């Protein structure tokens, strides 16, 4: 049985990928600062602060997993872009990867970000589009990926670096676009948006989870985009949510100013990931409907 250690297992993507891996027959050891109170029988949870590199290395040495899926990082909405602890995450991530390699780990899959790219190019292809981050978060992720590749180059440990674009779905942070629109509609508040003409690459979190699972199974190394490959306007996202929810209001497009450097297009080329046998399965309408259903289930007292 292959044994995977998953960091950030209680986070947005982690909550989707951990049960998927367990269902596929992996032995799953999950790391979180605060493991869930009601754990799953197939998941072995460990409470570890990854900034405590000694404790982390000790745990990895005891578990000796064959695979590593590193998802943990600061993703606090609105703050992570320029948070100083991005540098601590970079250091902790490299320490984790070193400990994993020293414990005999064979393959590591690490979550990067589309923020590593130069967003002026719009269409992002792994081996062609230049990298020029405009945030400390993007810089730290890019540096971590480059240093990790050098660190593991002669170790016998494979590395796949996954640049995630715009995941959405059940459990997404409340301040982000989709949950904030749903909340405003349910509360009878104005749905205030930007002009909405920006095109982005949204992918349902379950498809993100299957992409990470595929990267764990594959032998290929290097950088992979995790995206849908299909641009959709923010205006379309908002209007689709309104239609699916049966909301009769009118979104206030243009109420929120758009920064001058906000890119009109951000979409990921996913041919490298497709070549491994992966493809997205949830169309946008189905993914947004699933998100609405989850929201209604967890907020039964709010009409929507």
CATH of residue 192: 3.90.25.10
CA 276 to chain centre: 19
In a domain, 303, yes or no: no
In a domain, 63, yes or no: yes
Task: At 161, list the tokens.
Answer: 């670096």
Task: At 263, list the tokens.
Answer: 């890119």
What pairing do the DSSP bridges indicate for beta strands 232-233 and 199-200?
A: antiparallel
Question: What was the pLDDT predicted at 33?
Answer: 84
Whether residues 257 and 119 share a domain: the answer is no
Task: At 244, list the tokens.
Answer: 């699916």
Q: Read off the pLDDT of residues 222-245 as tens digits, 9 standing for 90 and up.
A: 999 999 999 999 999 999 999 999
Local confidence band at 302 (pLDDT 50, 70, 90 cut-offs): confident
The proportion of the chain whose per-residue pLDDT surpasses 90, expressed as a percent, equals 91
In a domain, 206, yes or no: yes
Question: What was the pLDDT predicted at 179?
Answer: 96
Question: What was the pLDDT predicted at 129?
Answer: 98
Q: Read off the pLDDT of residues 31-87 as tens digits, 9 standing for 90 and up.
A: 988 777 666 678 999 999 999 999 999 999 999 999 999 999 999 988 999 999 999
The residue whose two tokens read 């929120």 is 256
Question: What was the pLDDT predicted at 267?
Answer: 98
- 229 in Cβ contact with 269 (< 8 Å): yes
- Average per-residue pLDDT in the chain? 95
Q: Read off the pLDDT of residues 98-140 as tens digits, 9 standing for 90 and up.
A: 999 999 999 999 999 999 999 999 999 999 999 999 999 999 9
Q: Is 303 a residue whose pLDDT tops 90?
A: no
Range 90-110 burial, b when 16+ CB lie within 10 A, else e: bebbbbbbbbbbebebebbbb
Section 258-285 average pLDDT = 96
Question: What was the pLDDT predicted at 190?
Answer: 95
Question: What was the pLDDT predicted at 22?
Answer: 96
The proportion of the chain whose per-residue pLDDT surpasses 70, expressed as a percent, equals 98
Biggest distance spanned by C-alpha atoms of the chain: 60
Whether residues 28 and 159 share a domain: the answer is yes
Task: At 86, list the tokens.
Answer: 């991005």
Question: What was the pLDDT predicted at 1?
Answer: 76
Whether residues 95 and 183 share a domain: the answer is no
Whether residues 262 and 216 share a domain: the answer is no
Whether residues 23 and 154 share a domain: the answer is yes
Rounded Cα distance, 169 and 16, in Å: 10
Task: At 78, list the tokens.
Answer: 């609105």
Helices 205-217 and 14-23: crossing angle in degrees, nearest 10, is 50
Number of separate domains in the chain: 2
The 222-226 sheet, strands edge to edge: 43-47, 27-32, 3-7, 67-70, 107-113, 158-164, 222-226
**Segments forming the whole domain that contains residue 213:** 3-167+202-226
In a domain, 304, yes or no: no
């Amino acid at each position: 049985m292959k044994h995977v250690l998953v960091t950030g297992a209680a986070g947005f993507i982690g909550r989707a990928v951990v049960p998927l891996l367990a269902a596929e027959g992996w032995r799953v050891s999950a790391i979180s600062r605060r493991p869930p109170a009601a754990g799953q029988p197939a998941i072995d949870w460990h409470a570890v602060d990854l900034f405590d590199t000694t404790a982390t290395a000790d745990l990895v040495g005891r578990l000796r997993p064959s695979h590593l899926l590193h998802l943990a990082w600061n993703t606090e909405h609105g703050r992570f872009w320029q948070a100083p602890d991005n540098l601590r995450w970079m250091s902790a991530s490299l320490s984790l990867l070193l400990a994993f390699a020293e414990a005999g780990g064979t393959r590591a899959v690490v979550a990067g970000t589309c923020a590593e790219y130069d967003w002026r190019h719009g269409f992002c292809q792994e081996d062609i589009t230049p990298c020029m981050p405009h945030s400390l978060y993007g810089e730290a992720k890019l540096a971590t990926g480059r240093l990790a590749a050098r660190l593991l180059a002669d170790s016998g440990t494979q590395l796949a670096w996954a640049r995630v674009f715009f995941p959405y779905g059940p459990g997404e942070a409340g301040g982000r676009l989709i949950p904030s629109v749903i909340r405003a509609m349910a509360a009878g508040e104005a749905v205030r948006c930007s002009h909405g003409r920006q095109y982005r690459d949204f992918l349902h979190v379950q498809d993100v989870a299957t992409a990470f699972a595929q990267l764990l199974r594959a032998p290929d190394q290097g950088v992979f985009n995790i995206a849908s490959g299909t641009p959709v306007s923010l205006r379309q996202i908002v209007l689709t949510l309104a239609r699916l929810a049966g909301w009769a209001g009118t979104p206030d497009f243009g109420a929120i100013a758009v920064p001058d450097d906000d890119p009109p297009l951000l979409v990921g080329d996913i041919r490298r990931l497709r070549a491994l046998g992966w493809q997205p399965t949830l169309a946008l309408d189905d993914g947004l409907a699933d998100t609405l259903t989850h929201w209604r289930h967890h907020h039964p007292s709010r009409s929507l």
